[in-house]
Structure 1
């Protein structure tokens, strides 16, 4: 199985309990391009993802988590 990395560019729900993740990849010009989203995350998975989110100094969330995603 082959994997590729994506960036979590945004989320739905709250930073403490994300419900879906909006995913992107950088294109050849260096721009972050939307490639898809997850299905609704079960609460336990959302809580696990919440622990990986990086918080900015102003208290907002910077959801930039490289995740391996199988192609297709």
Structure 2
């Protein structure tokens, strides 16, 4: 799964360890979030938004809303 964080990090050549240092989390956590295996907590999502200058907004982690069919 390609995430906004993955795209951001690839475009800017930022490694998992670099991002981990910026958001004060372990590299393995960044790797899981980047690959879409884990959603960040609100606190971590806010840190990511801050360190990416809004390029990866908190809303990027929200589940898409699927409209329900009406009968």
Q: TM-score, normalised by structure 2?
A: 0.26
| Structure holding more strand per residue | 1
Structure number with greater Rg is 2
Greater share of helix:
2
Q: TM-score of the superposition, structure 1-length normalised?
A: 0.25
Higher relative contact order (CA 8 A, sep 6+): 1
